[in-house]
Each structure stands twice: as C-alpha cells, then as structure tokens.
Amino acid sequence: MNYNLLSILRKFNIEGNIQSAKPFGSGHINDSFKVEAGEKKYLLQRINHKVFKDIEGLTYNIVNVTDHIRNKINSFQNDDPLRKTLRLIKSLNGKYFVTDDDGNFWRLFDFIEEGRSYDLVENSGIAYEGGKAYGRFINLLSDFPAKILVETIPDFHNIEFRLNNFWKAIKLDQTNRVKNVADEIKFIKERANEMKLVLKLGKEGKIPLRVTHNDTKINNVLFNKDGKAICVIDLDTVMPGYVHYDFGDSIRTFANTADEDESDLSKVNINLDYFTAFAKGFLKETKLNLNTTEIETLAFSAKLMTFIIGLRFLTDYIYGDKYYKIKYPGHNLQRARVQFKLLESLEEKYIEMQRIILQI
Ligand code: ADP
Ligand code: GN1
Ligand code: MG
C-alpha cells in the first residue's frame, strides 16, 4: 500500500524540514516508518484499526500511561535511562493522532535514538536487561488507576475466548485448510484444559489483576549499543491483566533458541540460561510485589502464553491470514508450529524451570 506520508506528516507539529520517511521495524500489526527531519527523528505509525477498533481509547491509554511513567522518572532526578518512555507528538488539531483520506489512523512518536530491537536474544545480558525492563514497567504502573484504562482488545489473553475462536474457525473451515492441521488440533485438544489454570486462579481471587503490557515480546524493548534496555515500546495492549501474561509472553521470545517463524523446527528449544537471566531481571523488579501463588505459577505462564500465541497463529491460518501480516501463504502455520515445538521443549524442562524460579 502506498501512502502519502508527506501530507500525513504535515498534519503534525514537526520540528525541522522533512527529509525522508522509510519503512522500519518488524512488528506484525502496525506499519512503522522512520522519519528524518533535519536534526530530529520520528517514528510514524499507521495504527491497525482492524485490530484496534477504538483508536481514541487506545490513544487515551498511551497518553496516560506514558505521562504516569514520565512523572515518576522526573521525580527521581538521578534515575537511569531504563525508565525512559515513549512520547507521542501532538497533531495540529490538538489530538495525538490524525486520519488520512482513506480512513487510516496515524500517530507520531519521538524516535528513540540508538534504540536497537532484537528478534532473537544474543546473550544472557540481553535477557536479563529485558526482564528488568518489563518487570520495572509493571512496577512503575503498580499505582496507576487500572480502572481508567480502555480494554483495547477485549479478552485479549482470555484462554476460553481464544479456544472458542479456534473451535469456530475449525467448524467454518472457510479456506479449506483444516485438513492440513490434524496434528496441531490434536496437540491443542490434549492441552486445552490445563491452560485454564491462570484464569481459574484469577476467578478465585488468588492472583490480582495488575496493569500489564500484554505484548512483551523481545522486539518491544529497545536496547542501547551496550545492551542496556532503554525503553519498553508498543503500548497498544496495555490493559489490566495478570503478571503471567507479561512473564510468559516474554519467555516465549527471550528464551527461544530460534526465530518465531524458524523453518527448521529442530532448532526451536528453550534456552535455560536465557530463561534464568530473564527471570532474575524480572523478579528483581517485581518479587516484593508478587504473591506466593503468582510466583509458584510463573514458570507455568511460559507454557500458557506459548500455547495461546500458537493457537492464535493457527486460528489466523485457518481463517485465511486476516490478522497477522504474513510473507508467504503458510507463514502463520509455520509460526504456530514453532510455538508448539517450543511448548514441547518447555514441557520437558518444566520441573527445572520451576526450581529456577523458586530459587531466585
Ligand atoms: P507493532 O505493533 O507492529 O509491533 P511497534 O510499536 O512494536 O509496532 O513498532 C514496530 C517497530 O518499530 C519496533 O519493533 C521498533 O523496532 C520500532 N519502533 C517503534 N517505536 C519506536 C520509537 N519510538 N523509536 C524507535 N523505534 C521504534
Ligand atoms: C503481535 O504487534 P506485535 O508484532 O508486537 C500481537 C501479539 C503477538 C505477536 C506475535 C496486538 O505483536 O499479541 O504475541 O504479534 N499483537 C497484537 O509475534 O495482536
Ligand atoms: Mg511490536
């Protein structure tokens, strides 16, 4: 899709002359462009309004959450850069987003200089730093009034909802792809019940709802050139959730030995050194706040989130690739297979993972 980026950019308060705007990053949902304007750099994003139906509400969340974090940083003058946060730029109409003639929604962030994102962990230091960044994010928002947040994607990590969508997709079989996934369906059926644990603990009041990020994959943290985490990004899904959602979703990418769409499944495994490093960083920031049930079920959350994301990739494959951006027709199926292979590896190492968490 070709967009008239210049006319969109002219709707914002931009410092400097706009020189270039080039596609940037490897997210699956929004379209991102790096913008150079004199000395200034920005990150322009087309917000995926098929996925996010309430752009006003989503923007309200981001403005309030980033303001809250910034205010806290400002009150600690000597704070380290880890607490830096995204900053939205106002448009000329006084809002934090604009629309174009085709009904697309656009927003502009300050570009985080020297911020590098990874799709795969390269060493334990990165995993530890990522753990600290996501843990601190939860901490900084622990006194944020969760009730004011708009639920940008209702039931986002609700396992019952995700399973129901999956059964529906199979029943409809709109693209005649169900015949290709008999093994995967069996795999899901065997595990569906076990995966309801976190929801059950929530309903029983044994674990609290917190303000969570809900999309804590590795490329949603920016790192500096020394491997220190600078900033947590991609705040579209910040909503009330359980700590398990953030910890589990991180492990699935921070401790995977292969990419999310690796074609050789034998390369997909859990790396326990990276798991340990991430958990140490995360618990350093959150441990004092977590209750015993949360800590005892943290290792389980890696299985849960790997299962949920695999289930969502597979559901999208069956529906005909309507949700995630894909590069080839079987891309979502391959992504699902990677998650399920990773889940098998998590199951093999589960007792060890439990031991590691309880020892930290
Ligand atoms: P998506 O929902 O598509 O994943 P993200 O908000 O994660 O969108 O942005 C996609 C990519 O763009 C990120 O992985 C990161 O590399 C880059 N990015 C996003 N925001 C910024 C920013 N403010 N500064 C620098 N890079 C950014
Ligand atoms: C999407 O936006 P991005 O690429 O960071 C998705 C996540 C999935 C992830 C899988 C809003 O994340 O839930 O875990 O892909 N985000 C949304 O890679 O659906
Ligand atoms: Mg992202």
The confidence score (pLDDT) of residue 73 equals 79
State whether the beta carbon of 261 lies less than 6 angstroms from ligand 2.
no
On whether both 353 and 221 belong to a single domain, the answer is yes
Nearest ligand, measured from the Cα of 309: 2
Q: In terms of domains, do 182 and 319 share one?
A: yes
Which ligand is the nearest neighbour of the Cα of 22? 1
pLDDT of residue 81: 55
- Tell me, using a 6 A CB cutoff, whether residue 268 lines ligand 2: no
Q: How confident is the model at residue 15 (pLDDT cuts 50, 70, 90)?
A: confident
**Domain end (from 58, 75, 110):** 110
Per-residue pLDDT at 78: 56
DSSP 242-283: -HHHHHHHHHHHHSBSS-TT-S-GGG--B-HHHHHHHHHHHH
Q: Residue 307, class by beta-carbon neighbours within 10 Å (0-12 exposed, 13-18 middle, 19+ buried)?
A: buried
Tell me, using a 6 A CB cutoff, whether residue 28 lines ligand 2: yes
pLDDT of residue 66: 96
Quickly state the pLDDT bin for 113 (edges 50, 70, 90). Answer: confident
Looking at residue 149, which CATH number applies to its domain?
3.90.1200.10
Residue 193 has pLDDT above 70, yes or no: yes
Please tell me whether residues 67 and 193 are part of one structural domain: no
Q: How far apart are CA 161 and CA 238, in angstroms?
A: 19
200 and 301 share one domain: yes
Residue range 8-14: average pLDDT? Answer: 95
Q: Which pLDDT value is given to residue 194?
A: 98
pLDDT tens figures, 50-99 = 999 999 999 999 999 999 999 887 766 555 555 589 999 999 999 999 99
With respect to residue 128, please indicate whether it lies within any of the assigned structural domains.
Answer: yes
- Residue 252 domain flag: yes
What residue numbers bound the domain in which 241 lies? 124-359
Q: Are residues 240 and 335 in the same domain?
A: yes
In ligand 1, which atom is closest to the CA atom of 236?
2
User: 33 CA distance to ligand 3 centroid (A)?
Assistant: 13
CATH number of the CATH domain containing 52: 3.30.200.20
Domain end, chosen from 55, 80, 110, is at 110
Residue where a domain stops, chosen among 80, 110, 140:
110
271 and 320 share one domain: yes
Closest ligand 1 atom to residue 115 Cα is 25
